[in-house]
Amino acid sequence: MRDALSVVLTFFGVPVPWGVSFSDESLPAIMGRLAFYAIVIIADTFVLLAWARYNQVRFGRRDRRRHSDATAPTELGTFFALTPEQVIACQTAKRTVMVHDERGHLVAFGPFVK
């Protein structure tokens, strides 16, 4: 890469203290390398497009993900050790502060007040 940069810079008249300077012999080598890079990019593009088309044909537009049911306030209440009314109060509040002890159990909760 450094050789290619030095060739490009010296082609435009900028002297560089490192690498190969521009000459008629170095240009075909660089052009060959750029042609190889272009072939690799085109081949990678073809492979990725073919893979995408294969997946589109194989799976189509099927949506196999199942949507989960909504969690009931009683289920949340048993997890947090709250009554369903307390769960609904927490859900309707804009901001809720929950205080836990060192074991992770809920000690207190309430609305957030600035």
- What's the whole-model pTM score? 0.38
- Structure-block tokens of residue 66: 């199942």
| 4-19 tens-digit pLDDT | 777 777 777 777 776 6
DSSP tally for the chain: helices H, then strands E: 4, 2
Domain boundaries, the chain: 2-59, 73-111
User: What is the reported pLDDT for 45?
Assistant: 98
Q: Rounded to a whole number, what is the largest CA-CA distance in the chain?
A: 84
How far is the C-alpha of 12 from the C-alpha of 22, rounded, in Å?
9
Q: How many CB atoms lie within 10 A of CB 106?
A: 14
Scan for tokens 């890469």, then name that residue: 1
User: What is the reported pLDDT for 22?
Assistant: 54
User: What is the reported pLDDT for 37?
Assistant: 95
User: What is the reported pLDDT for 50?
Assistant: 97
User: What is the reported pLDDT for 49?
Assistant: 97
User: What is the reported pLDDT for 30?
Assistant: 79
How wide is the angle at C-alpha 112 spanned by C-alphas 109 and 114, nearest 5°? 145
Of 8, 31, 6, residue with least CA distance to 19: 6
- Structure-block tokens of residue 89: 């109060």
Of 28, 2, 31, 37, residue with least CA distance to 16: 2
Low-confidence ranges of the chain (pLDDT < 50): none
